[in-house]
Structure 1
Amino acid sequence: MRFTDMLKSRLWASSIFLALFLSCDRKNSKSIGDKYLVEKVPTESPLPFLPGLVSDKYLIHKGIFSNDLDEYYFTVSDKNFAKFDVKVIHKENGQWSASENAFFNSNYNDHGMSFSPDGNTVYFSSTRPVESERAVDTWHIWKSELMRGKWQQPEYVDIPNLREKLTSHPTITQEGNLYFHSSNPDYSNMDLFVAKLRDGKFQNAKKVFESGSPRCTPYVSPNGDYLIYASIEGQLDLMISNKKANNNWGTPRPLPSRINDNGQGNPYVSPDGDFLFFTKGGEEWSVQWVSTKAFMSMTDDSY
């Protein structure tokens, strides 16, 4: 075969391979779009998720899915941050329904929700009254459990050594380690804490990191191998820490600049592990999503 014929043959084969690759990529993107009921799916650069879900009169905050991806829960507030409500939309006939109050929403402030890895418990933060000794009037952690197909009345989650503190944005591992942020009731001295479950009760909480800038809104992976949170130093930046072999958390590192570009918080990873969702601040707040491939290859040694 002459060289020119060989070159043409290779170019033809490459073009066929590229066409097949792009076709598969489009089919995969369409499949994911159908899964989340969206037209456009992000890769390594964030996109707004369901823009227009909330009217201009409100701000949208954290958003999470039920474990089967059939429901999407999100927090809205007025622009003065005076009232927080948790809303939910459902998949109905291939599209998202109109929003309504979530089953655990109350006349008080509710926010910072997450499902347990098995999907049978929802944890959230609320300002509803607590009938407990020493508990002050501020945000506390609550939970509702799914029993015999019905969600039960929310119960106060007692963290013994933090009853007089603000506690919010809980997220839990398969082992029952509850991560959240806590501060004084005036929001000063905010940091991340973890409380371990023992005999059905959470024990005294400990700080996740002993030093560093203030932190808030944690997300922990189901098996507890990585932790994403917002660093409170200047604008909010999303940070990630990986669990080391000695069971300690590694040095936190910022997520890529294409994610950290305008004050981010409320990180959450979808139940399938494929997408990171977070709240983007600025003049127009929005929930953004991005492929976890944008940062999952990062380790303490790869920055």
Structure 2
Amino acid sequence: MKRPLFALFALLLPVCASAAEAPSTVHPWTPVGVSSDLFESHPAFDPRTGDLYFVRSSKEFKGWRILASHCDGKQWSAPLPAPFAAPGAEADPWFTPDGRSVYFISTRATGNQKSKDLDIWRADRAADGRWQAPVRLPEPVNSGEAEWFPRMAPDGWLYFGSNRAGGMGKNDIWRAKETRPGQWTVENAGPAINSAGDEYEPLPSPDGKRMIVMADGGLYQSRWDGHQWTKKEKLGPEVNVNGSEIGALFSPSGKSLLFARDTGEPNSGEFFVWQPDGKENWPPVCGAAKHP
């Protein structure tokens, strides 16, 4: 990335040692039974069962539905609607680390497919492990506009995207915290994260020290300096190939990032895993499948 240094080293090292030949840290993840010629995105793993939840939509990224697949010991099973599914558009599943709750967005209140009606919902597990009926989060978390990609940080702030009034541009990143049972405070994530353009999806890291933001042009990263978020910076060209990168998920260690990208025909959207610090045994292997 630092072109002057690279130019200097090029004079000193053989051509075969150029940076262009460095091993890639981004690899496709196309699990048998899950990958299709449609658009798969927004993965989430149930911490209790290991089941893979994800969004499948048309090649044009329409008609979002949350599906779930179980590893049967050989491969991922044929995906079925999530156990908490309802009519309408639904997307962006995220499990709390203890597996007690899952957050997602849905138009189930109206049943239609228009994104303007997307709200944040939460389903909790009963004592027997089954999912209870989802509950819509109250205002001011939800609004009369669309909400996107609810993700809880370790400090209890729920980050999400919304194009509600009072932002810094179009869609902004917001955060909410439940101060008392049923009462929430909501605030804008600030100018380090938001711009005059669109910011849709916030993903705090498991340790709360980083945040991946899906915004205009792909995926960005911000860091927590102990007091506030630093100005977001776009991830490099290995991750951001065409600006369609979306739906990121950290591994539990925070060392790997799973995301989706629109690859065009014949596979419209598929998963990729970024491992900048070296290989990690994640995403989970099902059956005889091997990591790249």
Of structures 1 and 2, the larger Rg is shown by 1
Aligned-residue Cα RMSD (Å) equals: 2.4
Find the partner of 1:259 among 204, 217, 239. 239
The 8 Å contact of residues 179 and 185 in structure 2, kept in 1 or not, is answered as: no
Shift of 1:292: 4.8
Q: Letter of the aligned partner of 1:205 in structure 2?
A: V
The 8 Å contact of residues 159 and 205 in structure 1, kept in 2 or not, is answered as: no
Q: Letter of the aligned partner of 2:208 in structure 1?
A: G
Q: Secondary structure at the match of 1:147?
A: coil
Matched, 1:163 2:147: no
Matched, 1:218 2:198: no
Q: Letter of the aligned partner of 1:281 in structure 2?
A: D
Shift of 1:78: 2.0
The 8 Å contact of residues 90 and 97 in structure 1, kept in 2 or not, is answered as: yes
Shift of 1:93: 2.1
Corresponding residue number in structure 2 for 1:46: 26
- Cα distance change, pair 69–259 in 1 and its aligned pair in 2 (3 A): farther
The 8 Å contact of residues 207 and 254 in structure 2, kept in 1 or not, is answered as: no
Find the partner of 1:62 among 42, 45, 48. 42
Corresponding residue number in structure 2 for 1:144: 123
Shift of 1:216: 1.1
The 8 Å contact of residues 117 and 174 in structure 1, kept in 2 or not, is answered as: no
CA distance in 2, matches of 1:93, 1:266: 26
Extract unaligned runs of 5+ from structure 1: 1-42, 131-135, 295-303
Find the partner of 1:286 among 270, 285, 288. 270
Instruction: Trace 1:96-175 onto structure 2 (pairs within 5 A).
Output: 96-129=76-109, 138-148=117-127, 149-160=129-140, 162-175=142-155
The 8 Å contact of residues 116 and 172 in structure 1, kept in 2 or not, is answered as: yes
What does the per-residue CA deviation read over 1:268-301, in whole Å, with 9 as the maximum and x for residues that have no partner? 112243320111124131111121527xxxxxxx
Shift of 1:59: 1.5
Give the alignment's TM-score, normalised by structure 2. Answer: 0.75
Shift of 1:162: 4.5
The 8 Å contact of residues 44 and 293 in structure 1, kept in 2 or not, is answered as: no
Bigger proportion of residues as helix: 1
Shift of 1:69: 7.0
The 8 Å contact of residues 59 and 269 in structure 2, kept in 1 or not, is answered as: no
CA distance in 2, matches of 1:281, 1:184: 27
Give the alignment's TM-score, normalised by structure 1. Answer: 0.72
The 8 Å contact of residues 31 and 76 in structure 2, kept in 1 or not, is answered as: no
Find the partner of 2:159 among 156, 173, 179. 179
The 8 Å contact of residues 126 and 140 in structure 1, kept in 2 or not, is answered as: yes
CA distance in 2, matches of 1:184, 1:252: 21
CA distance in 2, matches of 1:257, 1:251: 19
- Cα distance change, pair 161–73 in 1 and its aligned pair in 2 (3 A): closer
The 8 Å contact of residues 115 and 121 in structure 1, kept in 2 or not, is answered as: yes
- Cα distance change, pair 161–45 in 1 and its aligned pair in 2 (3 A): closer
Once the two structures are aligned, what percentage of the paired residues are identical?
25
- Cα distance change, pair 287–161 in 1 and its aligned pair in 2 (3 A): closer
- Cα distance change, pair 162–110 in 1 and its aligned pair in 2 (3 A): closer
CA distance in 2, matches of 1:224, 1:157: 23
Equivalent pairs counted in the alignment come to: 240
Q: Letter of the aligned partner of 2:174 in structure 1?
A: F
Shift of 1:240: 0.7
The 8 Å contact of residues 67 and 271 in structure 1, kept in 2 or not, is answered as: no
